[in-house]
């Protein structure tokens, strides 16, 4: 069995492999925050992120969609760097390599599943996983 790769995710999602490879180590959160401030946003810090209600529409709603369906984070009380980078990508201020980003998220899910006793609560990327499996089996 081959490991899941950025190239496989690019193939099954039809997303281009271009832009920066988002990893936690090279996240410059302050730079992303500055992009939003430059665009008139008045962001309020909360712990390691931004308070969601400080984002204006439609960004607040989009951030909720990212948390619920893409990154599947449970912490809805704070906007994390990964969410701001996705929003900045939509604002066309930075370009993230989305297949790399999705691959990283799925590998995080795999690590969580290995450690957890309640795998159903963790495997919420099932739509993307199903897409990969169907594409590779056909």
Return the ∠ at Cα 40 (arms to 76 and 89), rounded to 5°: 60
Q: What is the rounded CA–CA span in Å between residue 32 and residue 128?
A: 27
60, 53 Cβ separation under 8 angstroms: yes
Exposure class string for 90-100: b at 16+ Cβ within 10 A, else e: eeebbebbbbb
Query: Mean pLDDT score of the chain, rounded to an integer?
Result: 78
All structural domains of the chain with their residue ranges? 1-18+97-138, 22-96
Residue 48's pLDDT band (cuts 50, 70, 90): confident
Given this model, what pLDDT does residue 60 score? Answer: 86
pLDDT above 50 for 1 = no
Q: What is the pLDDT of residue 24?
A: 61
pTM for the structure as a whole: 0.71
Most confidently predicted of 42-56, 71-85, 119-133: 42-56
């Amino acid at each position: 069995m081959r490991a899941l790769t950025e190239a496989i995710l690019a193939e099954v999602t039809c997303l281009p492999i271009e832009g920066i490879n988002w990893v936690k180590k090279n996240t410059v959160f302050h730079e992303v925050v500055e992009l939003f401030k430059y665009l008139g946003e008045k962001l309020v810090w909360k712990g390691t992120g931004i308070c969601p209600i400080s984002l204006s529409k439609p960004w607040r709603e989009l951030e909720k969609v990212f948390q619920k369906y893409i990154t599947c984070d449970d912490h809805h009380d704070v906007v994390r760097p990964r969410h701001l980078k996705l929003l900045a990508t939509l604002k066309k201020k930075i370009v993230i390599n989305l297949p790399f980003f999705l691959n990283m998220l799925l590998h995080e899910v795999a690590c969580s599943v290995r450690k957890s006793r309640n795998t159903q609560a963790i495997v919420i990327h099932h739509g993307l996983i199903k897409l990969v499996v169907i594409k590779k089996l056909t």
